[in-house]
A = this chain, B = another copy of it.
Amino acid sequence: MRPTERTKVKRVPQRGIYDIEVINAILDAHFICHIGFIHEECPVVMPTLYGRKDDRLYIHGATTSRMLRSLQEGIQASVGVTLVDGIVLARSAFHHSMNYRSVILFGKARLISDGPEKWKALKVISDQVLPGRWEEVRKPNKKELKATAVLSFPIQEVSAKVRTGPPVDEKEDYELDIWAGVLPVRSMMETPIPDPQLKSGVAQSKSVLDYYNKIT
């Protein structure tokens, strides 16, 4: 990716990354983004689920959603994805920091019309949250598909910013008797809670078992 005026990382430029493989890896590690758009001359930020496949980022929602209706008009938008990896505790207040991986994307969304592309995009979003789930569940019927809008953003004007590693303090501060280091932050799924209305005798899904086998 060649940085544009908008995607070029200005603050701490050595943290800026334009390598599409790194950008995709960050996008694939999460499923919640924050979308910024202008509605009646005001900026609005809203969280939503997303899925990434190839060079497209997909979002979905009710066709009646204000955000989706605004975005499908082809207005400029910005999408932010942020993973917090750690709290960086320095010896000085000033050098406290975060370890993180973030992506910021600029672009215009396109509404995906009914048909195979919409079906595939919905599967991409489902796979992003829990791989294998799509195959297990009742698929959307005509009415549900009609009630759902799916939009796609091109992953083109995009950059990442990453910080890793220990704190960096002023030279003279390393002599202070202050503990310094990193508190790693991790987001994880805990023991599944079955639906109280679960039909008796129904075993846990393969998608869920696979997920927990993978992380333990």
Contact = CB atoms under 8 A, between A and B. Distances in A.
A196 B166 contact: yes
A94 B140 CA distance: 6
A10 interface: yes
A37 to B, nearest CB: 5
Interface size class of A (residues with CB under 8 A): 35 or more
A32 B83 CA distance: 10
Number of copies: 2
A179 B184 CA distance: 33
A106 B40 CA distance: 13
Contacts of A174: 197, 199
Contacts of A93: 122, 126, 134, 137-140, 144
A213 interface: no
B87 A189 contact: yes
A183 B198 contact: no
